[in-house]
């Protein structure tokens, strides 16, 4: 497909009239029509303006088969709410960087995940979670739950994870799922216990390869894909076997619940959600626990250390984390002259001057190490996995 036909395709996809596109970029409607029909060549600056107006990367117009062309043109959350586009913009920038680096790299990324049918989410999610736990060598009872999982996803699966604050947009996480490149994006503007579930939920989307791009606002399960991602995350973080060995309907009390939270590092809301979908509690019990809230629960235990630990975790937020696999590729790309300091600086969250000055001092390895190692920084199955596992509970 030539550039003109691609411009028309994207323009029609977003429902924009040729006249409006022309007005926006200062071109006569007939010029747009001629460009789209291949009767007039398009200049570089015109193409950039067209891409900007249509909200896509120039690369998406130049190559209809590229990763960028597969990104959606209208950013919506999983609930269908239109976003301002900041998240899509950020992911588009990262996908562009991937494309530029990949062009020079001799090896392509090769993801290998089990085939999943998300229509069979109730059966498939736990088995995929077990596969993932083994592949990731991830223990849900480790000491640094969130960043342990981030590290395992990047090291064992080669999937990039970006964690950064996006106070400007109401979203929990997003995932880019593509055979060519996958990325998980977690908003650091949420407590680390909640971010943990978001991370696992987005991993579920990526492993299920269930669509090119998902932005999750509140993780409410309103489709099989979302229910699958929630069920996957619940089993990965709170494995049924482990939970059942520690708690039953009979011994469920405040201390047991608080101990589970300390052990698995999830939020209180996620734990309630999990106990419900494992049928350890019913909907009435779930609502009761929500009403009591974590603070209410903590007031009932007589264990100062445990209380302090849970309280501290409630107040903790994830630090910024640059996607390590992509950052390593970008370092190599910088050293080879494929990219300048600016895209690398953007990934690392530092100024281009810091990157250049450090490289000139031949301290690149130290910078790379520093950045990469410290983590830049009457219930049906649908009901059990419905609702939101991260909904705020007082």
Partner 1 sequence: MAVPILFDAVTIRHFSSISRLDLLEMCHGYRPKPRWVEGVRNEIQMGDLSGYRECRPILDSTWFGDPLEPEMIDLASIAGLQIALGNARFEDEDKTETLRHRGEAESIQQALKYGYSFVTDDNDAHRLANFRLGAGRVFDTVDLLRLAVANSDLTSTEAVATAHRIQGLDRSLRRQYERLLTVQDFQ
Contacts with partner 1 by CB under 8 A lie at 3, 41-45, 47-49, 51-52, 58-59, 62-63, 89-90, 92-93, 96-97, 99-100, 103, 336-343, 345-346, 352, 356, 360
Query: Nearest approach, Cβ of 133 to partner 1 (angstroms)?
Result: 36
Would you say 72 or 93 has its CB closer to partner 1? 93
Query: Nearest approach, Cβ of 338 to partner 1 (angstroms)?
Result: 6
Would you say 242 or 352 has its CB closer to partner 1? 352
Query: Nearest approach, Cβ of 344 to partner 1 (angstroms)?
Result: 9
| Residue 109 to residue 232: CA distance in whole angstroms | 24
Angle among Cα 347, 352, 356 to the nearest 5 degrees reads: 115
| Residue 176 to residue 202: CA distance in whole angstroms | 9
Query: Nearest approach, Cβ of 192 to partner 1 (angstroms)?
Result: 25
Q: Please report the DSSP string for 196-217 in residue order.
A: HHHHHHHHHHHHHT--SEEEES
Would you say 100 or 314 has its CB closer to partner 1? 100
Would you say 107 or 360 has its CB closer to partner 1? 360
Cβ–Cβ < 8 Å for 152, 127? no
For residues 123, 190, 81, 203, the Cα torsion angle rounded to the nearest 10 degrees is -30
Cβ–Cβ < 8 Å for 184, 202? yes
Query: Nearest approach, Cβ of 346 to partner 1 (angstroms)?
Result: 4
Would you say 99 or 189 has its CB closer to partner 1? 99
| Residue 63 to residue 72: CA distance in whole angstroms | 15
| Residue 200 to residue 148: CA distance in whole angstroms | 12
For residues 58, 60, 61, 65, the Cα torsion angle rounded to the nearest 10 degrees is 150
Cβ–Cβ < 8 Å for 209, 176? no
Query: Nearest approach, Cβ of 93 to partner 1 (angstroms)?
Result: 4
Would you say 44 or 80 has its CB closer to partner 1? 44
| Residue 114 to residue 24: CA distance in whole angstroms | 46
| Residue 135 to residue 131: CA distance in whole angstroms | 6
Would you say 159 or 345 has its CB closer to partner 1? 345
| Residue 313 to residue 329: CA distance in whole angstroms | 33
Query: Nearest approach, Cβ of 356 to partner 1 (angstroms)?
Result: 6
DSSP 328: H
- From the list 21, 24, 6, 12, the residue with the least C-alpha distance to 70 is 6
321: β partners = 163
Query: Nearest approach, Cβ of 340 to partner 1 (angstroms)?
Result: 4
Would you say 3 or 298 has its CB closer to partner 1? 3
Cβ–Cβ < 8 Å for 124, 113? no
Query: Nearest approach, Cβ of 168 to partner 1 (angstroms)?
Result: 11
Would you say 297 or 355 has its CB closer to partner 1? 355
Using left for φ > 0, alpha for ψ between -120 and 50, and beta otherwise, residue 387 falls in: left
Query: Nearest approach, Cβ of 45 to partner 1 (angstroms)?
Result: 6
Would you say 164 or 210 has its CB closer to partner 1? 164
> How far from chain centre, in Å, is Cα 133?
18
Going 242 to 243 to 244 to 247, the CA torsion angle's sign is: positive
């Amino acid at each position: 497909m030539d550039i003109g036909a691609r411009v028309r395709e994207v323009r029609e996809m977003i429902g924009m009239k040729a006249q409006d596109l022309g007005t926006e970029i200062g071109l006569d409607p007939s010029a747009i029509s001629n460009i789209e029909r291949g009767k007039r060549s398009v200049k570089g600056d015109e193409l950039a303006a067209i891409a900007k107006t249509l909200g896509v990367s120039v690369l998406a117009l130049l190559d209809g088969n590229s990763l960028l062309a597969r990104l959606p043109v209208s950013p919506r959350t999983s609930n269908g709410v239109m976003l301002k586009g900041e998240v899509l913009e950020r992911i588009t920038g990262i996908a562009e960087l991937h494309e530029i680096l990949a062009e020079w790299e001799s090896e392509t990324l090769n993801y290998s995940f089990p085939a999943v049918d998300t229509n069979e989410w109730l059966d498939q999610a736990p088995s995929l979670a077990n596969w993932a736990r083994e592949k990731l060598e991830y223990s849900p009872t480790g000491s640094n739950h969130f960043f342990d999982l981030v590290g395992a996803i990047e090291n064992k699966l080669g999937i990039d994870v970006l964690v950064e604050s996006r106070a400007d947009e109401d979203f929990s996480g997003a995932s880019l799922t593509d055979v060519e490149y996958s990325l998980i994006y977690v908003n650091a503007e949420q407590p680390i216990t909640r971010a943990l579930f978001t991370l696992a939920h987005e991993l579920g989307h990526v492993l299920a390869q269930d669509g090119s791009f998902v932005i999750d606002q509140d993780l409410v399960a309103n489709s099989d894909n979302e229910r699958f991602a929630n069920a996957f995350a619940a089993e990965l973080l709170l494995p049924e076997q482990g939970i059942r060995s520690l708690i039953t309907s009979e011994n469920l009390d405040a201390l047991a619940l608080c101990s589970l939270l300390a052990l698995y590092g999830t939020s209180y809301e996620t734990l309630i959600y999990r106990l419900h979908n494992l049928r350890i509690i019913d909907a009435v019990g779930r609502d009761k626990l929500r009403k009591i809230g974590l603070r209410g629960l903590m007031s009932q235990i007589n264990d100062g250390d445990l209380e302090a630990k849970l309280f501290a975790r409630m107040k903790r937020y994830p630090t910024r984390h640059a996607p390590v696999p992509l950052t390593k590729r970008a370092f190599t790309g910088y050293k080879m002259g494929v990219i300048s300091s600016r895209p690398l600086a953007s990934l690392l969250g530092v100024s281009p001057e810091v990157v250049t000055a450090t490289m000139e001092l031949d301290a690149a390895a130290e910078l790379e190490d520093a950045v990469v190692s410290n983590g830049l920084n009457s219930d049906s199955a649908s009901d059990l996995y419905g609702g939101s596992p991260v909904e705020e509970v007082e």
